[in-house]
Amino acid sequence: MIPPDNATHSARPPGRVGSPAFKFVRDFVVIVVVAILISALLKTFVVRSFYIPSSSMESTLQVNDRNIVNELVPNLIPIEHGDVVVFTDPAN
């Protein structure tokens, strides 16, 4: 006997792949992984954070300051007098 079209049975038992709980967990994991990848890419290529441990720039930057540096600006806008420039040590 073929059940009518409006039968209320499901093809999959609850708790199996395709259930709403599984889809929620899968979507949550995908969102977390994508967020981690995007933040890693942004931190590597766009924005970096620096800590000022010494008083070498005291007239401009204070000891224990934390700065966020835009990595794209030197490639898009020329550096001018008075700009604070962050560079890597060539010896390392």
Q: Would you say residue 14 lies in a domain?
A: no
Average pLDDT taken over every residue of the chain? 80
Q: Would you say residue 9 lies in a domain?
A: no
Q: Would you say residue 84 lies in a domain?
A: no
Q: Would you say residue 44 lies in a domain?
A: yes
**Single pTM value for the model:** 0.54
Percent of residues, the chain, with pLDDT higher than 90:
21
Q: Would you say residue 53 lies in a domain?
A: yes
Model confidence pLDDT, tens digit, residues 33-75: 999 999 999 988 888 888 888 887 778 888 888 888 888 776 7
Mapped to the 3 state alphabet, what secondary structure does 13-67 carry?
Answer: CCCCCCCHHHHHHHHHHHHHHHHHHHHHHHHHHCEEEEECCCCCCCCCCCCCCEE
Q: Would you say residue 56 lies in a domain?
A: yes
pLDDT of residue 15: 52
Structural domain harbouring 37: 20-76
